[in-house]
Amino acid sequence: MSPRPGAEDRSVEARSEVQAKPEKLELIDIARELTDFRSFADLGACWGVDGAYTFHAAALCGNELDRAVIVDGNLTPLTRERAGAHRRVELVQALLGSREALDAVGKVDALIMYDILLHQVKPDWDRFLLDWLPHADSLIVFNQNWLKTPRTIRFVDRGVDWYYRNVYVWKTTGTPANASNRGSQGTTNGTRTAGWNGTTTGTGNGASVPSRLIGLLAKNGFELIYMKRHRHAFGRRRPWIVNDGLIFQRAAYPERGVGGRLRAAARSVAERTGVLERIRRS
């Protein structure tokens, strides 16, 4: 295994709008140790960081890297520049849930899914995940998860006032407008709406409940093998929003059954968070 990234061109990375987050880099490090992936696709890799997590993962693999694929609806110039120096890094400009993206990636060892599930405008996380599951044996997920209600919800259905009380909003506009333009990644399965209904300010369009995500993957043959929760990701005033880093791997023994995978996942979550699901009421 090659040394951790450090010798790469930091002058290029410094030009990115957002610097790579240590907790996200750490999650890739742990995934590499646990799964030994040698090929991967990074979905929505460009916004803000210009493929930083892709190139970190590629450097971890070193000479063992078979292929790396960046998939994004908007391949930034800086991402293209950086990819030009890596002959095993492929670029695919396509909507993340599109057949074009799925076909271009084909089969890889791992999928990196950072901050994309909550940006589905519809939203339809289940369909998005089920479409991608046949394409990899491991999932590396970093997601802002929601603990305030027991079910996944769509923020924009609750109205602007509720949004301001419950969801983190960057102070760049007077209304929840498209402050981040994250929708350019094409994480909307072909649906993109202008204005309030399609914007991705703050923590996104919808709320993902972690138990639903874990349960969906368990029912489809994936085990939770690692989880780390980062509390107060958006300040202590909103403790119901957390950052969860999760690693899933295709079950080595499918005959163990869904129940066994769900029980193992529940134990893992309980150990790492203190409770299986903490639901805070307003």
What is the mean predicted confidence (pLDDT) over 112-127?
A: 75
- The reported pLDDT for the residue numbered 229 is 85
Rounded to the nearest integer, the mean pLDDT of the chain is: 75
Global pTM value: 0.74
What is the mean predicted confidence (pLDDT) over 206-222?
A: 77
Q: Show the domains of the chain with their CATH numbers.
A: 10-273 (3.40.50.150)
Counting DSSP H helices and E strands in the chain, the numbers are 9, 9
The model's confidence at residue 96, banded by pLDDT at 50, 70 and 90, is very high
Encode pLDDT of 53-89 as tens digits. Answer: 999 999 999 999 999 999 999 999 999 999 999 989 9
- The reported pLDDT for the residue numbered 243 is 84
The model's confidence at residue 122, banded by pLDDT at 50, 70 and 90, is low
How far apart are the C-alpha atoms of 138 and 128, rounded to whole Å? 15
The model's confidence at residue 105, banded by pLDDT at 50, 70 and 90, is very high
- The reported pLDDT for the residue numbered 269 is 62
- The reported pLDDT for the residue numbered 112 is 98
**3-state SS class at 264:** helix
